[in-house]
Structure 1
Amino acid sequence: MYHYAVTEPRPRRCVLPFNAEAPQVADLRRAVRAELAAWGMLTLVDEAQLIVTELASNVIKHVGQGTAATLVLDADADQLRVELHDISHKEPQSLHPTSEEESGRGLQLLADLSTAWGTTRTAVGKAVWCELRIVRDESRRRIQRATVVMEAYGHTVGSPAARLTRCPVLEESVTSLILDLLHWLTAHGLDPDDILDRAQTHFESGLNAVG
């Protein structure tokens, strides 16, 4: 059963006890969105949700389904700190898997998204933590997010991450990713032209705001 959140006043701190079960991961994602929205930190929602999903999934897979755990969000004016406490002293899986390994991909994503991360031993187990810097420039945050997505996409289609820094390969990967998204939109009954028009409108609006 999903537990209620305890939110303390400034400095902002939210404590979310939960049981490590797949259905509760979605509950955690929703709780994180609601909390960050209340704190005026919507620009961090996507990254925070990805990190929370990875950390909670890691507990389910490597500590045990149904394990009692706690998610803690701490925020100040410059950064958001995400901590996930569990009852195991076992360190997270390797950050640098070989090409044959899949475990560790999520933690590599965590390292790419955060400015710092680590593991701290506690009296009953450990806490895996990471920090997200609050970037006021939305354009820069979107570019950083796109870079992470492109690197993950490159792994999926078999392109080494290092090659994605070369413009011709990057352009080809972007084209392939957009094509995949268009197929996904069509398969889900959505209008690709409408989505592209809305994205273009938001993009131009952002450029005008910067100018």
Structure 2
Amino acid sequence: MTCQAPPYQPQQVRFVDQLSLVAAQSAVRTSRHFLRFALAKWQAALIEDDVLLVASELVTNAVTVTGVLPEPPAWGELERLGLVHVRLVGLPDSVVVEVWDESDEPPRLQRVGDDAEGGRGLLLVQELAERWGSYRTTGGKAVWAQVAVRPPLPRRPTGEGRGGRPATPPGPDPALLRRVRAGLDAAL
């Protein structure tokens, strides 16, 4: 993977949300909640699953290379507190997930065996993202992935459905409601 800047220009950016996290095991879960909220706010829930999976892999890698602190860290361990940063950038037809960490080692795709329990994160990112890359920053690197916003599935016509039946449920049947009322009145 060659180093490359993220695939957008400032004038293309429609929305940005960013969060800094302690490099702890909880960072992945917290980043998922943050991204779910941002995507809902942007009305981009159609790509939520792909974005959350991509971000989980990128944040997991960032936490691993930054150095995982135990939860909760001891007082003396707070001095070596490492941070990871997650940014979600909304573009007209995609979103970009950027994750910064404190390592300057570029990410590397790994070919792992079928029995391996890990090492497939960037392969998942490569499959789900339209494109991805990394670039060096002051004090580390950023890894980004661009996820395309797919158009929504076509809606079913509201007229005739299969077999000549309406696709939408029918409204109340006045004749049936009169019979039910008459039956209730008779029972009382």
- TM-score w.r.t. length of structure 2: 0.64
In the TM superposition, structure 1's runs of 4+ consecutive aligned residues that sit over 3 Å from their partners are 98-103, 206-209
Q: Distance in 2 between matches of 1:95 and 1:38?
A: 35
| SS of residue matched to 1:16 | strand
**1:123 pairs with 124, 128, 138, which one?**
138
1:124–1:38 distance in 2 versus 1, CA, 3 Å: same
**2:102 pairs with 80, 87, 91, which one?**
87
Paired AA for residue 63 in structure 1 = T
The residue number in structure 2 matching 1:35 is 38
Q: Distance in 1 between matches of 2:123 and 2:153?
A: 23
Identity of aligned residues (%): 28
Q: Distance in 2 between matches of 1:132 and 1:53?
A: 14
The residue number in structure 2 matching 1:110 is 125
Unaligned 5+ segments in structure 1 are: 1-9, 140-205
1:113 shift after superposition: 0.5
Whether the 8 Å contact between 2:130 and 2:145 is mirrored in structure 1 is yes
**1:26 pairs with 25, 29, 37, which one?**
29
Aligned residues: 135
Q: Distance in 2 between matches of 1:119 and 1:75?
A: 18
**Whose relative contact order is higher, 1 or 2, with alpha carbons under 8 Å and at least 6 apart?**
2
Whether the 8 Å contact between 1:56 and 1:84 is mirrored in structure 2 is yes
1:102 shift after superposition: 4.5
| SS of residue matched to 2:145 | strand
1:122 shift after superposition: 1.1
Q: Distance in 2 between matches of 1:138 and 1:113?
A: 18
The residue number in structure 1 matching 2:54 is 51
| SS of residue matched to 1:18 | strand
Paired AA for residue 25 in structure 1 = V
- TM-score w.r.t. length of structure 1: 0.58
Whether the 8 Å contact between 1:81 and 1:129 is mirrored in structure 2 is yes
1:27 shift after superposition: 1.4
**1:5-16, aligned counterparts within 5 Å?**
11-16=14-19
1:101 shift after superposition: 4.5
Unaligned 5+ segments in structure 2 are: 1-12, 70-81, 162-188
1:17 shift after superposition: 0.8
